[in-house]
Homo-oligomer: A and B are copies of this chain.
Amino acid sequence: MPTYKAPLTDMQFLLNDVFDASQLAKLPGYEEATPDMFQSILEEGAKLCEEVLLPINQSGDIEGCTFKDGVVTTPKGFKEAYETFTQGGWMGLSCSKEFGGQGLPLLLNFLLDEMVCSANLSFGMYPGLSHGAYNAIEKHGVQELKEKYLPKMVTGEWSGTMCLTEPHCGTDLGLIKTKAIPKGDGSYSISGTKIFISAGEQDLTENIIHLVLAKLPDAPPGVRGISLFLVPKFLVKDDGGIGARNGAVCGSIEHKMGIKASATCVMNFDNATGWLVGVPNKGMKAMFTMMNEARLAVGLQGLGIAEVAYQNGLSYAKDRLQGRGLKGAVFPDKVADPIIVHPDVRRMLLTMKSITEGARALAVWVGMNLDIETKHTDATTREEAGELVALLTPITKALMTDHGFDAANLAVQIMGGHGYIREYGVEQFVRDARITQIYEGTNGIQALDLVGRKMPERFGRMLRRFFWPCAEFIKENSSNPAFADILPNFAKTFQRFQMISLLMAQRSFANPEEAGAAATDYLRGFSLLVLGYMWLLMVKTAHGKLADASEKSFYESKLKTADFYFAKVLPEINARMMNIQAGSKPVMGMSADLF
């Protein structure tokens, strides 16, 4: 069975040394969020993940969810783990105090999410979806709905879902057919079929609060005519108690490649009673509240998988004796050397490590800015933080989920045949990670979001939220000897990438297919640059800390890992830039019938 230890040292390094998360405690409402508070909560969270969630991950995969007569049963131990989770108050960590939450920073939730997903991605889906639904109701629902539903969602007694996809439409929600007919009493009658609904039915909670996209009778066509409805599994009485069963029923669950302990449901809404959330026909806006948070959360799932995959690949590489170092025996007293002596095994490990740690830094950067966007007293600061988060959302989602999948595969590769069999539990990471590249908008859709929405936004203003601090860092540190080996080359690459961005913006203005054809290469290139910036920040901090004798090896490891990143990972950006320059013709030039 795989092992896992939460990377608390790395998290503390990022929170305290690289980003100074203590500034969050200065924001109104976050006064309690001191570094000490962060540390003790993370330690508790780590324990929960290591001791409660990890032990039921592999068994949950093997057993899977079962479905019979509309009832979904989660695997053995999930109900108990969910109770431990909710009773520990983890569900409401960053939920509003008004509804019973602890009102702590979203950043803290980010780090918890990573750990939960390292330990048990399937489990993480249940609170994860609830959290998204909570957010949409809190931001867009009327006070009555909030008071009726949110407190029990915060305790975890009730859960939430997001019902978007239908059999004939996923990405293109303008095509949805689910109907909402006003019943005259302020409620609506909802009918239609939704598919791929995570946690649509389960045996963990007393009630399930579905958020459903549907069309009103007079709705304009396409995405401008979609509204969002709250549809509970059981109607809720005025006293808050459970009432009649509503017409929202699970028709079946999917057999999937992975996340088998997460129930993926076909949901049939048959004259189910629902209530409008937000403004009629503006459901997409409310949905994007959930979606943007969900995209970041999915990115963190990828990060979580990458971390646990690395840990298990590493431990195998240190234990497995096979062959000898290329320069001769490293441990002549053993029958063979551990495979970590081999350059190609190290290449795989360092690829995992350098991207995972860079991505964790990115998670902290985004999480902090999300908190600043939410709580800062200065409107301009809030706006700027929001723009950075908006820019980095598609990057976080695609980069981290692609990396989660890649890292899981590298762990399998290091373990060879043992990686491929079920017993060692690493192939599960590959299967579980695979969905993260798809749901909440495929990574191709993330790339289109970056080049089609974020890039042109106010003539590149969002891009500059990244380009400016990065340029400033380069300028400030150009004569810093700590960066002599790294910075000149990075600065050149950074310069070239900005020019490519300009080129793309120009070309795309004339022909949107130019943006489309370059999107994935651009997102990947941008991601590598962002990771590079994260590594620059970490190198600077680690250099300053090297004298600190007690943790010296931690900082040395950071510096060596950075060397690898700049020498062996970043160069991919050059191929990506060449692909972008090649334009859309090689992609669009072939008529569909020639495929």
A residues contacting B by CB (< 8 A) are 165, 168-172, 174-175, 195-196, 254-258, 264, 314, 317-318, 321-323, 325-327, 335-336, 338, 340-350, 353, 409, 412-413, 416-417, 419-423, 427, 430-431, 434-435, 437-439, 442-444, 447-448, 511-513, 515-517, 519-520, 553, 556-557, 560-561, 563-564, 566-568, 571-575, 578-579, 582-590, 592-595
Contacts and interface: CB of A to CB of B under 8 A. Distances in A.
Nearest to A171: B322
Contact of A175 (B165, B322, B435, B513): B322
A432 to B, nearest CB: 11
18 contacts: A171-B322, A174-B336, A255-B423, A257-B421, A326-B513, A327-B512, A327-B513, A338-B592, A340-B592, A341-B592, A342-B444, A343-B584, A413-B442, A417-B439, A557-B590, A560-B594, A566-B586, A574-B575
A568 B447 CA distance: 17
A317 to B, nearest CB: 8
A586 B574 contact: no
Contacts of A168: 321
Contact of A344 (B317, B413, B519, B575): B519
Contact of A165 (B344, B417, B561, B583): B417
Contact of A438 (B321, B420, B560, B573): B420
A350 B169 CA distance: 24
Contacts of A588: 343, 346
A175 B335 contact: yes
A399 B45 CA distance: 43
A409, A442, A587, most chain B CB atoms within 10 A: A587
A62 to B, nearest CB: 8
Contacts of A341: 592
A560 B592 CA distance: 11
Contacts of A170: 322, 416-417
Given A171-B323, A343-B516, A574-B578, 18 more contacts: A171-B322, A175-B322, A257-B422, A326-B516, A343-B513, A344-B519, A346-B587, A348-B444, A350-B586, A353-B595, A416-B442, A420-B435, A420-B438, A427-B434, A553-B594, A557-B594, A571-B578, A573-B575
B444 A344 contact: yes
Contact of A419 (B421, B438, B519): B438
A582 B567 contact: yes
Contacts of A447: 344
Given A347-B520, A579-B568, A589-B560, A416 B438 contact: yes
A493 to B, nearest CB: 11
B567 A586 contact: yes
A59 to B, nearest CB: 13
Nearest to A405: B409
Nearest to A573: B575
Nearest to A447: B344
A431 B340 CA distance: 26
A351 to B, nearest CB: 10
